[in-house]
Structure 1
Amino acid sequence: MMFCKVLLCSAALVLLAGSVESSSGGSTGALRYDLSGSALTDLYNKRVHLAEAMRRPLGNLPVTIGIISHCGVRVTLADRSQWLIHKGGGYGVSSQTVVTDAQHMSSNWRVIESKNFRGTKTVSDLVGAGGPNYRLIGDNCHNACGNIINQ
């Protein structure tokens, strides 16, 4: 019984540490922006054609183990550009669900589910589905992935 408690506490600490990682797996430090102003507004108004829920290991872990991982949704737009929508504590300013250029993704990300939206949803719709707040329990990156892909 004590082993299970230690394992659960360790898992929570790993998840907490992972919540401040960037899309590539490193520490975010100061917030960096791919787009801002009207370019960001334009991106948020673009139509999503394909959404892929993806998972990668947390931090320096070599594998994903269920929820001891980071989840995000890579979206492909009509112009074939790809963006990662993901959520984490300290990821954004007004929302903890953010959009980053998919070029920042490491090769550790794996597709776990796909959905063809055929342009029926915007990037803004999917960011909104991810939710603005982050909580380790009940409102984390895995919850955001499910909410986004199930739009």
Structure 2
Amino acid sequence: MFSFRSLVCVVALTLSVSVDASSGGNNSPQSHSFDLAGSDLTRLYNSPVFQADRMKRPLDGLSSWMGPISHSGVRVTLQDGSQYLVHKGDGYGVSSQTVVTSARHMSPNWESVASRNFEGSKKVYDFVREGGSDYSLLFNNCHLGSRRMMGQ
């Protein structure tokens, strides 16, 4: 049985889960077909996260990253070993600028900079919520969002 909160969360995630070019390193986000929908999407949203890795990659056109001159997000690993990237950027999503993409869409330019074992105490939904729905280059960017997701 769905509660009102679950329904709102599913609707928000449906609009937020997308595959965008930013996970690979391109500058202009573009929508691709959704990987998940319906009950599969609800299941992902409510899945416990066992491992989280804060990840960084160079900005477009650069060969390496340095501090804030980069893009960051959090790669979450679920109990079954599947991985998803939770990250935010201007124009990434529809109802939220924090989106969830399959980690298989990540380019090899991403590097892990911090890890944390959550032992299932947080769900994918919690990472999306901590990332925040709005984006601001100075006050609510990808770095601040990924730090909140990791509890830093």
Same fold per superposition (TM over 0.5): yes
What is the alpha-carbon distance in structure 1 between the residues aligned to residue 52 and residue 130 of structure 2? 13
Is contact 1:31–1:92 with CA below 8 Å preserved after alignment? no
What is the alpha-carbon distance in structure 1 between the residues aligned to residue 69 and residue 21 of structure 2? 13
1:37 Cα shift? 2.4
What is the alpha-carbon distance in structure 2 between the residues aligned to residue 63 and residue 32 of structure 1? 29
Task: Give the aligned partner of residue 41 of structure 1.
Answer: 42
RMSD value, Cα:
1.5
% identical equivalent positions: 53
Where do residues 7-86 of structure 1 align in structure 2 (5 Å cutoff)? 22-26=22-26, 27-30=28-31, 32-86=33-87
Task: Give the aligned partner of residue 114 of structure 1.
Answer: 115
What is the alpha-carbon distance in structure 2 between the residues aligned to residue 86 and residue 134 of structure 1? 11
After TM superposition, the score normalised by the length of structure 1 is 0.83
Task: Give the aligned partner of residue 126 of structure 1.
Answer: 127
1:141 Cα shift? 0.3
Task: Give the aligned partner of residue 97 of structure 1.
Answer: 98
After TM superposition, the score normalised by the length of structure 2 is 0.82
What is the alpha-carbon distance in structure 2 between the residues aligned to residue 49 and residue 94 of structure 1? 26
Count of residues paired in the alignment: 132
What is the alpha-carbon distance in structure 2 between the residues aligned to residue 34 and residue 45 of structure 1? 16
Is contact 1:55–1:64 with CA below 8 Å preserved after alignment? yes
What is the alpha-carbon distance in structure 1 between the residues aligned to residue 141 and residue 59 of structure 2? 13
Amino acid at match of 1:139: N
- Which residues of structure 2 form unaligned runs of 5+? 1-19
Higher-Rg member (1/2): 1
- Which residues of structure 1 form unaligned runs of 5+? 1-19
SS in 2 for 1:94: coil
What is the alpha-carbon distance in structure 2 between the residues aligned to residue 102 and residue 141 of structure 1? 17
Amino acid at match of 2:114: E
Amino acid at match of 1:105: M
SS in 1 for 2:53: strand
What is the alpha-carbon distance in structure 1 between the residues aligned to residue 82 and residue 132 of structure 2? 23
1:68 Cα shift? 0.8
What is the alpha-carbon distance in structure 2 between the residues aligned to residue 145 and residue 76 of structure 1? 15
Amino acid at match of 2:63: P
SS in 1 for 2:63: coil
SS in 2 for 1:84: strand
